[in-house]
Chain A
Amino acid sequence: MPEKPKIAFYWCASCGGCEEAVVDLAEDILSVVAAVDIVLWPVAMDFKKKQIEAMPDKSIAATLLNGAIRTSEQEEMAHLLRRKSQYLIAYGACAQLGGIPSLANQFSREQLLRYVYEEAPTVENQAKTRPQSSSQNNGHTVTLPVFRNLVRALNQVVEVDFYIPGCPPTPKMTKAAVVALLEGKLPPKGSVLAPDMALCEQCARKASKPADLSFTAFKRPHQVMLDPNLCLLAQGVVCMGPATRGGCEAVCPAGNMPCTGCFGPTSRVRDQGAKMLSSLCANVAAKETKEIDEILAGIPDPVGTFYRYGLGTSLLRGKVSLPLAPAQKEP
């Protein structure tokens, strides 16, 4: 009997939702488990890093890695899994685009650590202790991974073969990707394993999208009773559908919530946020600067709205004036 292909799952800076998405394959996961050998899956099974290190290079058929890269440990694991895998697949928005964690690229390391360990209302830390990459405890040296200045997508750290988008990817897409992998029916390297078209194409509300949108105000979902059938843009809600890749089958609009852009842009767009800003703002109804600004004030946080999942891989990648903390020594 031929050896089953080896698959690894790994997580970096992520919430765990992508792991949940794998489990959401439900009964189908049994056929996946029957077809492959899982060699690494920290969230569900017990494996050691040294077991992976002992494997020959390229002996893992594919690694599905979710989460963005923030620490030196995540970087090291990305390098290790890249070396051991034939295909390295960025699984989910964080690995593909930087994800929500990359919104932290608006703040310096010092700002983040100060807030989290000193200023957050729930923190009691009078000694102002902060994690150190190396410290002494009872005569032992305790080490922690280095916390980098920036959050990165996987392809900003190592070469990536394929991308499975989504926050999280849908079980259907995950299954299709695993099947394509097992059957060797893969698209060209670098492809995003989802249809290359705007989400609006898959949205049940598409028919009600006006040819000429005109915004007199932007409303947020909690401020308005949304019509379940009418195009959300026509209702004055920021829906990222026009600037976002399809593939999820418009599950958020189907649940009466606007798209927030987790599938990233199509191949024809470099910067999803700029493209959405362009499309949305051009259709503001007002002509006078003052009125335009009043309408645009309905979007209080442009970075968080337009780059919710992709600040790390956007053209600017973050706040460009961030002071860099000196590079820390590897423990």
Chain B
Amino acid sequence: MPDPNWQPRIVAFFCNWCTYTAADLAGVSRLKYAPNALVIRLMCSGRVDPQFILDALAKGADGVLIGGCHLGDCHYVEGNYKTVRRFEMLQRLLRDLGIEERRVRLEWISASEGERVKTVINEMVEQVRALGPLRLPQRQEEWDREMTPLAEPAGQSPLAPQRAAAEVAHA
């Protein structure tokens, strides 16, 4: 049953030197674009650990957008090349695990391209809207309904925390 109130939720990882600055420019220029992207600033698109992308999707994002400097313009020289190499493999992995390629997008947007931020975010929201909600937390909850409920005292969910405090996992 599709939720009529559903709006795409996009997590956007923008690099400090280019795409985030461009998003700033878009704001200062009072460009209007879809409010669905939650922007997270990182020093470099090369800092986007594939774990961040999977974690965002697993926690309820419908799409992930990564923005970095144009190839050759990276503040750290090589960072965005690492990003594109990881991205190519991650797309194959996501496809094998049933996540549409159009949910994860990589874009190069330089600091002066405020207009491009607007276009890309609007496009991204529409392409994710066309795919519909991903609902990973709900899907995983549905998977686990087949299990026998725990006979132990209430408040001890078998899934949370997945690992106890001593082995805190940092994504």
Contact = CB atoms under 8 A, between A and B. Distances in A.
B3 interface: no
Given A148-B147, A270-B51, A277-B90, A315 B165 contact: no
A320 B163 CA distance: 22
A270 B139 CA distance: 20
Contacts of A187: 166
B139 A106 contact: no
Contacts of B171: 270-271, 315
B22 to A, nearest CB: 22
Interface in A271-292: 271, 273-275, 277-278, 280-284, 286-287, 289, 292
Contacts, number: 159
A292 B85 CA distance: 6
B58 A315 contact: yes
Interface residues of A, number: 62
Contact of A79 (B92, B98, B144, B151): B151
A299 B89 contact: yes
A96 to B, nearest CB: 10
Contact of B163 (A155, A268, A274): A155
Nearest to B54: A315
Interface stretch (B6-14, B34-42, B117-125, B154-162): B154-162
Contacts of B150: 79, 158
B167 A190 contact: yes
Contacts of A281: 82, 85-86, 88-90
Nearest to A276: B50
Contacts of A150: 143, 146
B79 to A, nearest CB: 9
Contacts of B97: 106, 303, 316, 318-320
A267 B54 contact: no
B63 interface: no
27 contacts: A72-B148, A79-B151, A150-B143, A156-B162, A159-B158, A189-B164, A189-B166, A190-B163, A191-B167, A267-B169, A268-B169, A268-B170, A273-B93, A274-B54, A277-B50, A278-B49, A278-B50, A280-B89, A281-B89, A286-B85, A301-B96, A314-B54, A316-B57, A317-B140, A320-B97, A324-B142, A327-B145
Interface of B: 46, 49-51, 53-55, 57-58, 71, 81-82, 84-86, 88-90, 92-93, 96-99, 134, 136, 139-140, 142-148, 150-152, 156, 158-159, 162-171
Interface of A: 72, 75-76, 79, 82-83, 106, 148-150, 152, 155-159, 187-192, 265, 267-271, 273-275, 277-278, 280-284, 286-287, 289, 292-293, 296, 299, 301-303, 306, 313-322, 324, 327, 330
